[in-house]
Each structure stands twice: as structure tokens, then as C-alpha cells.
């Protein structure tokens, strides 16, 4: 893959200029938003071609929906660039330090990674989002999107590169891999010495493939088998409302609820209330035996597989558990470690749940749907890490930086 | 490797108890120090057998020295355990947080990784050090040392496990892999779902092998091709002193200087002063042409290979550069990204060096030898990360934790 190596070298050179760019990064982001706006027609035309080909090739409707851009979606991308420009710059932040007994002053400072690779699938909005966050974090980015969105991505990247040049930054801060075969993804996973970190964004298979095959450092982003546990002491209205929101407000995303756990002492009271809400959206319930005993045989029996399935759909697995311990054990066994919530009015249950459940985000009396960079106040996010190394949970620009120690003295030796 | 999977399961169970152990971890560390003290004879006898076998098999003298324990070295290991006990506990530290406009309270809290794997070579002191830091960080550890130290490691681990049990913690918080073939190392690299992070500690080949083959997350620890750059404005005495210290105070470690860069305008004045100091320790100088023109033909000519060699010995590569930019470019090309120092009296040179040199630790007017957890005030260290992901530079117990978000509300939905 000599082409990728050439891109890697160009990215390293661009990254050096970018590391020292300071506020010019924000000017470039605003120029990029204006550039996308100017190129709307071109981008929409490219996207229409991509969508027509995908439809012809039999892409399923939900994926076609992810691929398709509209004026409103483009405006959302532009607005995204502007909001990243408005965020605080993580580069240069001093996040620790001390003066040692020998007089050495030690500072720990946020610095850019250098070059970030992003492999993603058929959502062209990722192109602008990922480029913007990497740029803000001071790193050059090499983007490899899905083949279905290639024309769209190329048009978006062209607009971004033009804006970078107008702002006096190297166009190669943002590069797009035009070879969308498996070979190019594999080659990116092996770009040791060129990529400082590789982030896969997409479905479970893509992420698994990257985690298994990459030799460069990887941040695994989320699939989510998220749980809501309704404790014996829960407020029934609150429980039904949170379950309804976590399941149905956007079922296709990784922070949506997939399994509901209910304490046996409240099951008979709360399950009918929850079902009444879920029925509004025609949610299919797959329940354990005790759930079916309460809700009736119209509930589909849950199989072992249901407990580990990320439906991303209007389907909810439901299990009645004997205790808080049972809920915690179920989550430990089946969760993907993304987001879990307890609904409770008991102080000790809340305390134990947040302490003992080992996931990126644990909630008391709130919907799992809040696990999101914007909702957490991190600004735009590049994904939600479900690994424990480097970053866990929503990743904004600060999570896309590394640190260095700056040590200043006046002749100290050891 | 069913044995490793069995160990992985035991470690996960132990880790759950350890995560909630709080100050009992410190009691266990103190008990472990006492346990090592009680087992001194047994450990020294095991080590004598290991050393005799290694000598018989032709292990070179410097490696034999690393393998050999003495009463004093054992005391050092015991003292190490006590000092880790005295350190601040990173687990539970709240390192960020906010209340969102909707009233959700978000806290970012340090939590244990879970299970940490450490693969290392023939230094048995790593066994106690690594176990202590992982324990402090609230994680169970699976240790795989070199085959040459197996009897010693087994004796040390037995003492540690007994101390854990005495302190009411599971013995399986610390486990030793007794199969020291390549197969066991390879199997550890693939223990997805059991190891949350794998840390290789040892030579360049071990680290490269782990980075290339691991499927579990890895923290790469350092080999160091460290540079000292003597700027045109440097104080000559300070420069000679720092170069002498960085090269000779302990040449076998990763933070020792390997290449000296000297600005052309000060080369004729400073190089003889530096050589006079280095001659005290019979350091071999491998110089560029300009260095040899100043120091004479007794200096060995440096080859291209010298610029990227980690000698770990009384050898120093020396190059005269035209400018600060030349020094920065040389470091960017050849450094391993560990530690680099500038000696200067010029403010702007210092500012540019620490900003533009991209290494884990950058120094002004101090020896590179300070890159060390103890020297940085982090307490004991498990190694020095030369990767950019997760941790960079010396890693203490805090660097061996991950984080989770705890989000508390009163019914918020999105």
C-alpha cells in the first residue's frame, strides 16, 4: 500500500504544522463550515449518486437512511463544525504538575497525538465530525469511509481541504482513503510509525475486525447492550418513563436500552405500567417466565441469546430478578460495558449499583440515552469508548490528545 | 491454554473483591512485605538454584547480575512494597465532573482496570514491584516472568499469596504463569475478555513481539534512544555535567543518554570539556566528521546505525548540528520518544525545544535520568510508557486505573 504510506508521510508533516496552529484551527473549522455551505449542491449531487447506486445494489432501508444527506443534514454537519470551533482547545492544557525537592519543575501537558486514523461505514456525516474533532485536537486525520459513501465523502473532504488551505493550514491535515477495499482497511491497521491511534466507528463486526487485526493502538468504540434495572423501591411512574425513553427515543443507537431487569417485589406492579408505555411504540417484549406470568403469553419467551443481543430496534428483553445482587450479576455477565441505569428510591441500592456495576457510564434515576459527548458537556464526540484503555465513555477532543512531561531545571543531575 | 483461561477466570473473580477492598489493600501490601521478609531464606535458595542453572547454560554476566538476588536486594523489594502501601490510593478519586443544565450530576471517577497481565524477563524484582502496583490500583495481576527466574518468581509469589490470604483478600489477586514457553506468552496476548491490559516489560524484541501480536490492549513500555542537545548558548560546565550524568550514572537503563547533539558554534569549546568528563568512565565516543575534527581521530566514526542505537553501555554517539532546528529534526527522525534534554541559557531555544520535541519527557537544563516514577513523585512505577495511548512516561498506580462516569438524576429522560 504505497499510496497509504505516502498519505501517512504527508499526514505526519501536516501534523507538525497543526500542532503549533493554536487558534488558527478554529478559523479553519469556521472556514470549513462555510466551505461545506458553498459546496452544498456538489455534495448533495454526489450523495444522490451514491444513494442511487446503493439502492440499485439492494442496500436495506435503514442503511439507505443513514447514507442519505439532505439540506437539513448538511446544515447539521456545518453546525457541528462551528460548535467544535467554539469548544475549548485541549492542546496545551496543563493537567498536573509539581516542583520536586531538588527544584525540578514538572508539568504534565496535553499535546496532540499526531496522526489519527478513522475507519467507518456508510454515514457521511462522520466524515465532517471526525475531521473536525481531530483537527481541534491538533492531529491530522486519515479517513476511510465505506465504499457506498465514497463520492459523498470525497466531496466533503474536498470542501474541508480547500478551507484548510484558505486558512493557511496544510490540506493534508484531512485526507480520504479512496481505496475502499478490505485491503486498505487492513493496511491502515498495520501503519505502525504513521498512525498514532486508529478508531473504528461502526457495527460490531467492523470493530471486532479492527481490534483483532490492528498492530497500531486502537480505541474500540461502542456497541451497547445497555440495561435498566428497576429496583424494588422504584417510583413506578419514573420507572416506566425512563424505560420508555431509553428504549424508544432512538432505538438504533448504542446507548439505547436492550434489556430491562425488574426486582421480583415490584414486578407485578411495574411491568404492566411499563408495557402500557411500550405499547405506544409497538415494542416487542421478549420476557423470562416470570415476566410472561405477569404480562401474559402474548409476550415472546426470551432465549439465552436475547440477554446478549443488541437489537437496535423496537424490541426489549425483560427479566425478573430476585435482588439487586441478581441484577448486578446479570449485567456483569451480559453487558457490553456501555451504559446501565438503576431506578430506585433506596440510597444503598443506588450506592451499590454505581459502585459495583463496571460500565463506562452508570446512572441512577436517569435514561441511558444521555451517554453522549454533547449531553456530557464534552462538545462533539468521535465515538463512545467501551474499552478501558485511554478513554472510556464519550470521547471529545480532549480524549483525542496525549500528554507529555515538560521538566525544567537549572542543572540538576541524578 | 485451558490453564491460562482458568487463571483468567480466577483473576476476574478476585478482581471483584479487590475493587471494593479500599484500605485493606495497604494492609495486604504491608503483610506482603513481612511475608517476603519471613521467606527470605526460601527465596534466596530458589534464586541460587535459578542462578546456578543460568550460569551453567551460559547466561552472560550482566544478565546474571539482573537475575541474582541478595539480602540487600530482597530488602529493597520489601521496602518497595511498603512504599507502595504508603502511596495515595488512586481508586475512587473523582477527577472531573459537572452538573448539566437538566440537573444531571456527572462525575468521572477512577476505577480499577480489573485484570492486568505483565510479561517480563529475568529480573525477579519485577515480580514484587508489578504485583504491588497492580494491587494498589485495585486490579488482579497475572505475571509471566522469564524461565530463568521461575523458581525465584514462584517463591516470591507464594509469599505474596499467603500474605493476601492472611489479609482477607483472595490469593488469586496475584497469579504466576508457570509455563514459560513462547506459547504461554502468545496465549496471554490473546486473552480477550480476561485481560483488560497487557504490559510487556523488557527488551526491545519482547516489546515488539507483544505490540505486533497482542489482541488485548497493550501499554508499550520503553526502550530509550535519549538525546541531550547542547545549544549555542549553553553553560559549558553545566553541559558537561549533564551529559556525563545522563550517560554514565547508569548506562543500562532506558532513560540514559545515547546521542549527544552539539550546536556548531559551541562545539569547539564544549566537546573537549565533555570528553574530559566522559574519559573518567572510559566512555567510547562515536562522532560525526565535525566531532572528529575537534576531538581528534581517536574518536570512532559514527555510522548511520549509531543514530538509532540504544547502546545501554559506556558508548555515546555525538553529532554537531547547525542549529536548534537541526537538533529538533534529528530527534524527530531517530528518537524513540522517551526523554530528551536541551542545555541552554536562551529562553526562546528552551521554549521551542519543549514545544516542538515530541517525546514523553522533555527537559531544560537537567539530566534525562530523571524520567522515573519515583523522581516524578508518582511513587513506584510499573514502567515507562513510550506510546501515546492511555499513559505516556512513567506509570504509577494512577496510570494503572481506568475511569467510569457516574451519573445521578431524579428522573431525567432525553
How far apart CA A90 and CA A92 sit, in angstroms, is 6
Residues B300 and B318: beta-carbon distance below 8 Å: no
**B345 lies within 8 A of chain A by CB:** no
Q: Is the pLDDT of residue B285 over 90?
A: yes
Q: What would the pLDDT profile of A143-160 be if each residue is shown by its tens digit? A: 999 999 999 999 999 999
Residues B283 and B248: beta-carbon distance below 8 Å: yes
Q: What would the pLDDT profile of B8-52 be if each residue is shown by its tens digit? A: 999 999 999 999 899 999 999 999 999 999 999 999 999 999 999
Residues A100 and B377: beta-carbon distance below 8 Å: yes
Q: If you ran DSSP here, which 8-state letter would residue B303 be given?
A: P
Residues 6 or more apart in contact with residue A234 via CB below 8 angstroms: A263, A266, A270, A343, A344, A345
Residues 162-221 of chain A whose Cβ lies under 8 A from any Cβ of chain B: 192, 196-197, 211-212, 215, 217-219
The per-residue pLDDT for B376 is: 94
Of A131, A186, A185, the C-alpha closest to A163 is: A131
3 state DSSP class of A282: coil
The per-residue pLDDT for B123 is: 86
The shortest CB-CB distance from A405 to any of B100, B106, B393 is to B393
Of B31, B66, B68, B64, the C-alpha closest to B46 is: B68
Q: Looking at A65-74, A335-344, B89-98, B204-213, which range is the least confident one?
A: B204-213
Residues 6 or more apart in contact with residue B279 via CB below 8 angstroms: none
Give the domain ranges of chain B.
Answer: 2-221+382-408, 226-370
* CB pair distance less than 8 Å for B393 and A404: yes
What average pLDDT does chain A have?
95
Q: Is the dihedral of CA A314, A315, A318, A324 positive or negative?
A: negative
Q: What would the pLDDT profile of B341-387 be if each residue is shown by its tens digit? A: 999 999 999 999 999 999 999 999 999 999 999 899 888 889 999 88
Q: Could you write out the DSSP letters of every residue in A298-324?
A: TSEEPPGGGGG----SSEEEEEEESSH
How far apart CA B176 and CA B145 sit, in angstroms, is 8
Q: What would the pLDDT profile of A235-255 be if each residue is shown by its tens digit? A: 999 999 999 999 999 998 899
Residues B45 and B159: beta-carbon distance below 8 Å: no
3 state DSSP class of B258: strand
The per-residue pLDDT for A381 is: 87
Rounded to an integer, the average pLDDT of A212-223 is 88
**A363 lies within 8 A of chain B by CB:** yes
In angstroms, the separation between the Cα of residue B157 and the nearest Cα of chain A is: 27
Q: Is the pLDDT of residue B232 over 90?
A: yes
The per-residue pLDDT for B102 is: 97
The per-residue pLDDT for A202 is: 83
How far apart CA A277 and CA A409 sit, in angstroms, is 65
The shortest CB-CB distance from A388 to any of B113, B358, B370 is to B113
Long-range pairs for A272-277 at CB < 8 Å and ≥24 separation?
Answer: A273/A236, A273/A237, A273/A239, A273/A240, A274/A230, A274/A239, A274/A240, A274/A243, A274/A244, A276/A240, A277/A240, A277/A241, A277/A243, A277/A244
Where helices occur in A181-263 by DSSP H, the ranges are 182-189, 204-213, 236-248
Q: Which residues of A touch B409 (CB under 8 A)?
A: 363-366
Interface pTM (ipTM) of the complex? 0.93
How far apart CA A301 and CA B293 sit, in angstroms, is 86
* CB pair distance less than 8 Å for A369 and B238: no
**B400 lies within 8 A of chain A by CB:** no
* CB pair distance less than 8 Å for B370 and A219: no
Q: Is the dihedral of CA B412, B112, A373, A253 positive or negative?
A: negative
Of A205, A178, A200, the C-alpha closest to A189 is: A200
The shortest CB-CB distance from A361 to any of B98, B392, B407 is to B407
- Annotation: CATH topology of A226-370: Aldehyde Dehydrogenase; Chain A, domain 2 (3.40.309)
Cα B270 to Cα B232, B261, B266, B276, B316: the distances in Å are 10, 11, 6, 10, 15
Q: Could you write out the DSSP letters of every residue in B1-23?
A: -HHHHHHHHHHHHHHHHHHT-TT
The per-residue pLDDT for A93 is: 96
**Cβ atoms within 10 Å of A184's Cβ, excluding its own:** 18
Of A21, A11, A154, the C-alpha closest to A89 is: A21
The shortest CB-CB distance from B411 to any of A100, A238, A413 is to A238
Rounded to an integer, the average pLDDT of A42-54 is 97
Half-sphere exposure for B376 (CA within 13 Å, toward CB): 29
Residues B174 and B161: beta-carbon distance below 8 Å: yes
**Cβ atoms within 10 Å of A293's Cβ, excluding its own:** 15
How far apart CA A376 and CA A385 sit, in angstroms, is 14
Residues 146-165 of chain B whose Cβ lies under 8 A from any Cβ of chain A: none
Can you give the pTM of this predicted structure? 0.92
**Percent of chain B, pLDDT > 70?**
100
How far apart CA A222 and CA A204 sit, in angstroms, is 8
Rounded to an integer, the average pLDDT of A84-108 is 96
**B367 lies within 8 A of chain A by CB:** yes
Residues 6 or more apart in contact with residue B101 via CB below 8 angstroms: none
Q: Looking at A222-231, A371-380, B109-118, B126-135, which range is the least confident one?
A: A371-380
Angle between helices A182-189 and A2-19 (to 10 degrees): 50
Q: If you ran DSSP here, which 8-state letter would residue A70 be given?
A: -
Residues B80 and B128: beta-carbon distance below 8 Å: yes
The per-residue pLDDT for A1 is: 67
- Annotation: CATH topology of A2-221+382-408: Aldehyde Dehydrogenase; Chain A, domain 1 (3.40.605)
Residues 6 or more apart in contact with residue B35 via CB below 8 angstroms: B159, B160, B162, B163, B166
Residues A360 and A388: beta-carbon distance below 8 Å: no
Rounded to an integer, the average pLDDT of A269-273 is 98
What average pLDDT does chain B have?
95
Residues 215-254 of chain A whose Cβ lies under 8 A from any Cβ of chain B: 215, 217-219, 235, 238, 241-242, 244-246, 249
How far apart CA B397 and CA B388 sit, in angstroms, is 18
B103: left (phi over 0), alpha (psi -120 to 50) or beta: left
Residues 6 or more apart in contact with residue A297 via CB below 8 angstroms: none
3 state DSSP class of B64: helix
How far apart CA B165 and CA B28 sit, in angstroms, is 8
How far apart CA A403 and CA B388 sit, in angstroms, is 7
Angle at A174 between CA A405 and CA B208, to 5 degrees: 50
Residues 6 or more apart in contact with residue B397 via CB below 8 angstroms: B84, B87, B89, B90, B133, B136, B137, B378, B379, B380
The per-residue pLDDT for B1 is: 67
Cα B91 to Cα A6, B20, B110, B139, B399: the distances in Å are 44, 9, 5, 10, 11
Find the residue in A nearest to B388 (Cα).
A402
Q: If you ran DSSP here, which 8-state letter would residue B283 be given?
A: P
Residues A249 and A375: beta-carbon distance below 8 Å: no
The shortest CB-CB distance from B405 to any of A211, A361, A407 is to A361
Q: Please classify residue B354 by burial: count the beta carbons closer than 10 Å to its beta carbon, then call 0-12 exposed, 13-18 middle and 19+ buried.
A: buried
A292: left (phi over 0), alpha (psi -120 to 50) or beta: alpha
Phi first, then psi, for residue A84 (nearest 5°) are -65, -40
How far apart CA A6 and CA A119 sit, in angstroms, is 18
**Percent of chain B, pLDDT > 90?**
88
**Percent of chain A, pLDDT > 90?**
88
Q: Please classify residue A57 by burial: count the beta carbons closer than 10 Å to its beta carbon, then call 0-12 exposed, 13-18 middle and 19+ buried.
A: exposed
Q: What would the pLDDT profile of B182-201 be if each residue is shown by its tens digit? A: 999 999 999 998 999 999 99
Residues B117 and B97: beta-carbon distance below 8 Å: no
Q: What would the pLDDT profile of B302-344 be if each residue is shown by its tens digit? A: 999 999 999 999 999 999 999 999 999 999 999 999 999 999 9
The per-residue pLDDT for B184 is: 93
The per-residue pLDDT for B62 is: 79
In angstroms, the separation between the Cα of residue B301 and the nearest Cα of chain A is: 28
How far apart CA A168 and CA A172 sit, in angstroms, is 12
Residues A158 and A175: beta-carbon distance below 8 Å: no
Rounded to an integer, the average pLDDT of A362-387 is 92
The shortest CB-CB distance from B370 to any of A387, A407, A410 is to A407
Amino acid at each position: 500500500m504505497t499510496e497509504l504510506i505516502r498519505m501517512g508521510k504527508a499526514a505526519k508533516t501536516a501534523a507538525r504544522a497543526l500542532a503549533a496552529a493554536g487558534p488558527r484551527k478554529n478559523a479553519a473549522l469556521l472556514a470549513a463550515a462555510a466551505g461545506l455551505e458553498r459546496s452544498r449542491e456538489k455534495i448533495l449531487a454526489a450523495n444522490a449518486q451514491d444513494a442511487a447506486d446503493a439502492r440499485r445494489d439492494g442496500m436495506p432501508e435503514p442503511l439507505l437512511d443513514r447514507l442519505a444527506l439532505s439540506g437539513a443534514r448538511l446544515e447539521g454537519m456545518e453546525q457541528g463544525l462551528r460548535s467544535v470551533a467554539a469548544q475549548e482547545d485541549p492542546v496545551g492544557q496543563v493537567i498536573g504538575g509539581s516542583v520536586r525537592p531538588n527544584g525540578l519543575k514538572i508539568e504534565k501537558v496535553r499535546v496532540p497525538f499526531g496522526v489519527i486514523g478513522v475507519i467507518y461505514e456508510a454515514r457521511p456525516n462522520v466524515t465532517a465530525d471526525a475531521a473536525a474533532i481531530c483537527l481541534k485536537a491538533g492531529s491530522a486525520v486519515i479517513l476511510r469511509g465505506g465504499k457506498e459513501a465514497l463520492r459523498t465523502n470525497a466531496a466533503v473532504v474536498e470542501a474541508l481541504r480547500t478551507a484548510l488551505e484558505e486558512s493557511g493550514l496544510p490540506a493534508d491535515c484531512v485526507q480520504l482513503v479512496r481505496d475502499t477495499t478490505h485491503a486498505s482497511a487492513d493496511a491502515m491497521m498495520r501503519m505502525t510509525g504513521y498512525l498514532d491511534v486508529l478508531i473504528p466507528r461502526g457495527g460490531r463486526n467492523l470493530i471486532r475486525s479492527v481490534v483483532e487485526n490492528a498492530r497500531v493502538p486502537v480505541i474500540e468504540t461502542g456497541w451497547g447492550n445497555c440495561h435498566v434495572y428497576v429496583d424494588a423501591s422504584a417510583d413506578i411512574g419514573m420507572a416506566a418513563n425512563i424505560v420508555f425513553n431509553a428504549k424508544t427515543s432512538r432505538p438504533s443507537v448504542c446507548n439505547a436500552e436492550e434489556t430491562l431487569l425488574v426486582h421480583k417485589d415490584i414486578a407485578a406492579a411495574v411491568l404492566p405500567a411499563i408495557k402500557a408505555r411500550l405499547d405506544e411504540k409497538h415494542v416487542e417484549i421478549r420476557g423470562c417466565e416470570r415476566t410472561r406470568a405477569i404480562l401474559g403469553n402474548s409476550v415472546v419467551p426470551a432465549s439465552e441469546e436475547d440477554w446478549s443481543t443488541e437489537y437496535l430496534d423496537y424490541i426489549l428483553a425483560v427479566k425478573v430478578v430476585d435482588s439487586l445482587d441478581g441484577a448486578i450479576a446479570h449485567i456483569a455477565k451480559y453487558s457490553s460495558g456501555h451504559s446501565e441505569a438503576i431506578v430506585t428510591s433506596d440510597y444503598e441500592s443506588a450506592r451499590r449499583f454505581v459502585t459495583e456495576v463496571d460500565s463506562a457510564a452508570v446512572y441512577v434515576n436517569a435514561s441511558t440515552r444521555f451517554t453522549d459527548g454533547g449531553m456530557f458537556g464534552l462538545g462533539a464526540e468521535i465515538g463512545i469508548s467501551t474499552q478501558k484503555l485511554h478513554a472510556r465513555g464519550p470521547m471529545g477532543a480532549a480524549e483525542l490528545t496525549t500528554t507529555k512531561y515538560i521538566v525544567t531545571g537549572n542543572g540538576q543531575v541524578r
